[in-house]
């Protein structure tokens, strides 16, 4: 069974014209795009999404950054998708992220770190429902599926 995960291309990705670069990393790895849309994040959505940070002094700063321009939300699908995506994105702090990861190559910040990626399958399920309606997600089997996985892996 293929797992789904959420990725948000943050305002810095949009402002720096890195959308194609970031999406390309996930595609080249073999993850399948199940949904994608551009949107402005509302205060309500941000309060819910970052509720775990609401008592931190950085909370308002994060909300301000995430509303500075639209974001692109993506749902990616693949075997162990959450773990694979987090490996591709690198550690949260761009200064500590390894070269070759998205944050390691494109970020010098803990906040302006290019992407948000779900941290567990359980979180991914909640986050995907927060950002996508059921009809905005697509299941399909690419023609090259047998080149991505052994037949008993999907």
18: which DSSP letter? -
- The residues annotated as belonging to the active site are 116
Question: Contact 130/49 with Cβ under 8 angstroms?
Answer: yes
78 three-class SS: strand
Give the C-alpha separation, 7 to 111, whole Å. 15
Give the C-alpha separation, 104 to 102, whole Å. 5
Length of the chain measured in residues: 154
Give the C-alpha separation, 96 to 50, whole Å. 22
Give me the numbers of helices (H) and strands (E) for the chain, helices first please: 8, 4
**Backbone dihedral region of 114: left (phi > 0), alpha (psi from -120 to 50 degrees) or beta?**
left
């Amino acid at each position: 069974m293929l797992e789904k995960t959420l990725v948000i291309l943050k305002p810095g990705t949009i402002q720096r014209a890195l959308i194609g670069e970031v999406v390309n990393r996930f595609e080249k790895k073999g993850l399948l795009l199940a949904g994608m849309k551009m949107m402005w994040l509302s205060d309500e959505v941000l309060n819910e999404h970052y509720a775990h940070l609401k008592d931190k002094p950085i909370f308002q700063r994060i909300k301000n950054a995430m509303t500075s321009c639209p974001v692109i939300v993506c749902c990616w699908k693949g075997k162990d998708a959450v773990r694979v995506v987090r490996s591709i994105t690198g550690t949260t702090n761009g200064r500590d992220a390894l070269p070759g990861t998205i944050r390691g190559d494109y970020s010098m910040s803990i906040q302006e770190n290019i992407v948000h990626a779900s941290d567990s399958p359980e979180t991914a399920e909640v986050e995907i429902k927060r950002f996508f309606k059921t009809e905005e997600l697509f299941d399909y089997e690419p023609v090259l599926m047998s080149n991505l996985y052994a037949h008993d892996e999907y």
